[in-house]
Amino acid sequence: MFQFPQTATLWTKSTNDGFGGTSFGSPSSLAVRWEDERVRFIDADGQETVSRALVWFKDADAVLEGDFLYLGTSTSTTPQSLTGAHEVRRVEVTPSLSANEYERIAYL
């Protein structure tokens, strides 16, 4: 059984803003387990990179690459300017041994 004792703020990537940037939906809360951990991984562009944090979450498709996460609660509408908010650069989904639960990890 996975435990999610912390709260994170999630901004989902919504649309291109027309000026080469991205706009985001309203911030929402998400139950997570957040670890400030450096781990090597391959990003969406196929480049080896190092994470700033790993974030476990339960809800399927709640977090996607390009979204932003912040440990704690925030009402900011611009996650890129919020210190401590990080872009999700990879999401992995792994089934439990019994395949009745899934571990979802966001690499920031």
Residue 1 in domain:
no
Helix or strand holding residue 86 (H, E): strand 85-87
Query: Which CATH number goes with the domain that contains 25?
Result: 2.40.10
Answer whether residue 1 shows pLDDT above 70. no
Using CA of residue 81, residue 52, residue 71, residue 59, what is the dihedral sign? positive
Residue 63 in domain:
yes
Per-residue pLDDT tens digits for 8-39: 999 998 877 667 677 888 999 999 999 999 99
Answer whether residue 106 shows pLDDT above 80. yes
What is residue 11's predicted lDDT score, i.e. its pLDDT? Answer: 95
Per-residue pLDDT tens digits for 59-87: 877 899 999 999 999 999 889 889 999 99
- The parent domain of residue 99 ranges over 6-107
Number of independent structural domains in the chain: 1
In this prediction, residue 57 has a pLDDT band, given cuts at 50, 70 and 90, of very high
Three-class secondary structure assignment of 13-37? EEEECCCCCEEECCCEEEEEEEECC
SS3 label, residue 53: coil
